[in-house]
Amino acid sequence: MIEMSEKEYSIGEVAAILNEEIHNLRYWQKELELVDRRNEMNQRIYTQTDINTFKFIKELRGNENLSLKAIKKILHKAEIVRDEAAATTEAVIALNNNNEGNYLATIDRFKEDLFEEINRAVELGNQEIKFEIQDLKERMQFMEEERGKKMDELISEWREKNQKKGLLGRIFG
């Protein structure tokens, strides 16, 4: 839920901030199943968190050249990590209330766990992308082989046809 003090942005403002087309933002929001918040006039509204998410998506699309399918998986993993982080944060707060001395150690463990979880999610996403690329390469190789076979057949047919014409031309010509 949006807090009252958090600034809200229109889709046009977000597009200007990100230097991105409005239709791209709508498309990403739909395809990646991002939260669609609206104001009382049914206009899309965004928070700084939403803008940061769009920046992350734009970076993955541009710098990493990832597909929306891969980005969706990464965002889903990040959401799971964020949920786990929230649960861990609650545990840290409870622990902090009980034992002030273990606060820094708990924060360090939390950071390590969070980084490990993020690294696992990214590695899983990378593996899935590698498998997809390998599958595409195999399909392309198969199609190339099929195209080569078809070309060989057509060349053979053309040669046979021209040889017959040449022989008939010599007999009747």
Tens of pLDDT along 35-78? 889 999 999 999 998 898 899 888 888 877 788 888 888 877 77
- Residues 96-108 as b or e (16 or more Cβ within 10 Å = b): eeeeeeeeeebee
Same domain? 76 vs 42 = no
Q: Please give the structure tokens belonging to residue 36.
A: 């669609």
Q: Mind listing the pLDDT tens digit for each residue in 11-44?
A: 999 999 999 999 999 998 898 888 889 999 999 9
Q: CATH number of the domain that 3 lies in?
A: 1.10.1660.10
Taking 60 as the threshold, does the pLDDT of residue 2 lie above it?
no
Q: Please give the structure tokens belonging to residue 74.
A: 């990464």
Same domain? 94 vs 72 = yes
Same domain? 61 vs 92 = no
Q: Of how many residues is the chain composed?
A: 173
Same domain? 47 vs 89 = no
Q: Please give the structure tokens belonging to residue 78.
A: 């990040």
Structural domain tally of the chain? 2
User: For residue 31, what are the domain limits?
Assistant: 1-65
Same domain? 75 vs 154 = yes
